Structure 1
Amino acid sequence: MNPQLFKKKHIDRLGVQYKNFENIFHPLKDIYFFCKNLESQIFLGNPAFIQMCGKKDELDVIGKSDYDFFPQHLVQGYILDDQKVISTNKTMQNKIELVSDLKESLKWFITTKAPLYDKRGKIMGTMGTTRDMQITAEQIRPFEKMSKAIEHIHDNYANPIEIKNIAKEVHLSVSQFERNFKKVFKTSPLKYIQKVRLDIAIQKIIDTNRSISEIALESGFYDHSHFCHYFKKQTELSPLNYRKKLHKIHRFNK
């Protein structure tokens, strides 16, 4: 569909909300604002977001998905968040994550996503903001102190990880580390480890034809049953049904 028609179709459903979004988010330079439909296709973005996608014209982004602009292994996590917000009808607030920019360097971002409703009150997708945490040194300092811990988790997710070993990486006792980690990331180290493993598993589910049991072990889960239980708790879908759904969305966005 023509990008202009695609945008108009969705904006018509938004009604007066569109002008509110434009007035609030269009001038902002350090906050990236976007709206997506139920298939995670972008139909609205402020200039900062368009630039983040590596484009100058909004029409080069409209009707496309994150798959067109960002590394695939990261996009799977973005779409998982989109679908979770839609299926649960709940806002995802202030998710702090390492993401890759267009130069493929890692940066800290903080993202919030919420259900987006049309003028009749029916959910039509997601709206969100994300912000580069490296813009101010004061904001990023606590995260930099934990960078070695994060690297340790990402390097060793497939193996058993002991909290005491991560704590040593940042020269803290276990209790100090757990307390500081939760203060910075708003989650416990164990929950963060499980989230990393889940993201890796999702990447493998989409990118490979490996069995669910193989993926579970390769991603650091100790057995098939535990993995499937945790996966369904987080996504509300079984791993196999999730694979089918994401393949469908990916094909739709090609």
Structure 2
Amino acid sequence: MENKKEEIECIENTKDVDMVQIINMFSLLPDVLFWIKSSRHCFVYANQAFVDHVGAAKLDDVIGKNDFDFAPVHVARQFIQDDKKVLAGACVTDRFEINQSNNGELAWFTTSKRPLKDKQGNVIGTYGITRHLQKTSTTLAHINAIKTPVEFIRLNYQKAITIEQLAQIAHLSVSALERRFKKYLAKTPKQFLTETRLEQARKLLVETSLPISSICFCTGFGDPSYFAKQFKCFFGLTPSQIRKDNYLDINKHRPNPDKYSV
């Protein structure tokens, strides 16, 4: 019992420990991106893996900047929206995402975010980790369970796709396919297909000058009205608003992250 008491006292005394030495341990994890942001979404710390991932030369090139300095506008805006939810007290845990790796290729990642609190419990920022799952063998089973239908959607979202078709190529029943998507992605195959199309549409809106109607059809939506409704529901803005707000020369007109509300 005496040993247990001593251990508890040791844990309680960690408030006097220099936390920087613990934070620096994340630099020993090359497959984990770790960062800390202020309440204004500016980076105040990142490990070396994160620095390398965003293409910076050193940590000093990251501190004080935000996601708009390193990511495409449509991606940075989503990061900021996530941060605002976390600042409000929400937590993100092991969310599966398909994003760009530092070599420009699409890859699987899992992301977790938490509110950063001071000793009084006030939220003063956010912190999080992202893992590149192709490099994390313990999590690959989760990916492989839905890999075939997900890759089919990513490659063929422009075409008409049915849930029955996805189930067939995955060698599963429709109900089994639905269960796997809900288990590993927390969404149905139809939701994943729609969100994939919407993400591609948003990318085209901010990176090209294609007419909105053309973007609608080339991302797999057959009805412009339905497309606009789904887009507004998912992103909170209409396609024309996204284009107006984000079709910028990011090097000259970097958006203010505080303008993006949840």
Per the normalisation by structure 2, the TM-score is: 0.72
CA-CA distance at 1:220 after TM superposition = 1.6
CA-CA distance at 1:222 after TM superposition = 2.5
Partner of 1:26: 24
CA-CA distance at 1:215 after TM superposition = 1.5
CA-CA distance at 1:144 after TM superposition = 2.0
Aligned residue identity for 1:79: R
Q: In structure 2, what is the Cα distance between the partners aligned to 1:134 and 1:123?
A: 33
Cα distance 1:39–1:180, how it changes in 2: closer, same or farther (>3 A)?
A: same
CA-CA distance at 1:134 after TM superposition = 2.9
Partner of 2:78: 80
Partner of 2:152: 152
Q: In structure 2, what is the Cα distance between the partners aligned to 1:211 and 1:217?
A: 10
Partner of 2:188: 188
Deviations 1:170-223, CA, capped at 9 Å, x for gaps: 211211111122212121111111110111011111011222222122212232
Deviations 1:138-158, CA, capped at 9 Å, x for gaps: 311231232221111012111
Answer yes or no: is the 8 Å Cα contact 1:204–1:210 preserved in 2.
Answer: yes
Partner of 2:53: 52
Pair 1:176 & 2:167 matched: no
Which of 57-66 and 118-127 deviates more?
118-127
Answer yes or no: is the 8 Å Cα contact 1:86–1:126 preserved in 2.
Answer: no
Answer yes or no: is the 8 Å Cα contact 2:68–2:77 preserved in 1.
Answer: no
Which of 50-59 and 182-191 deviates more?
50-59
Answer yes or no: is the 8 Å Cα contact 2:51–2:58 preserved in 1.
Answer: yes
Cα distance 1:166–1:32, how it changes in 2: closer, same or farther (>3 A)?
A: same
Indicate the SS of the match to 2:220.
Answer: coil
Q: In structure 2, what is the Cα distance between the partners aligned to 1:117 and 1:190?
A: 37
Answer yes or no: is the 8 Å Cα contact 1:38–1:124 preserved in 2.
Answer: yes
Cα distance 1:162–1:156, how it changes in 2: closer, same or farther (>3 A)?
A: same
Pair 1:112 & 2:119 matched: no
Answer yes or no: is the 8 Å Cα contact 2:216–2:227 preserved in 1.
Answer: yes
| Structure 1 unpaired stretches of 5+ | 1-15
| Structure 2 unpaired stretches of 5+ | 1-14, 256-262
Answer yes or no: is the 8 Å Cα contact 2:68–2:76 preserved in 1.
Answer: no
CA-CA distance at 1:55 after TM superposition = 4.2
Partner of 2:206: 206
Answer yes or no: is the 8 Å Cα contact 1:40–1:79 preserved in 2.
Answer: no
Q: In structure 2, what is the Cα distance between the partners aligned to 1:247 and 1:108?
A: 27
Indicate the percent of aligned positions where both proteins have the same amino acid: 31
Answer yes or no: is the 8 Å Cα contact 1:108–1:134 preserved in 2.
Answer: yes
Equivalences for residues 225-236 of structure 1 within 5 A: 225-236=225-236
Aligned residue identity for 2:216: A
Q: In structure 2, what is the Cα distance between the partners aligned to 1:76 and 1:128?
A: 20
Answer yes or no: is the 8 Å Cα contact 1:164–1:174 preserved in 2.
Answer: yes
CA-CA distance at 1:234 after TM superposition = 1.8
CA-CA distance at 1:43 after TM superposition = 4.2
CA-CA distance at 1:48 after TM superposition = 2.8
Q: In structure 2, what is the Cα distance between the partners aligned to 1:64 and 1:161?
A: 41
Partner of 2:8: none
Per the normalisation by structure 1, the TM-score is: 0.74
Which of 61-70 and 185-194 deviates more?
61-70
Equivalences for residues 211-226 of structure 1 within 5 A: 211-226=211-226
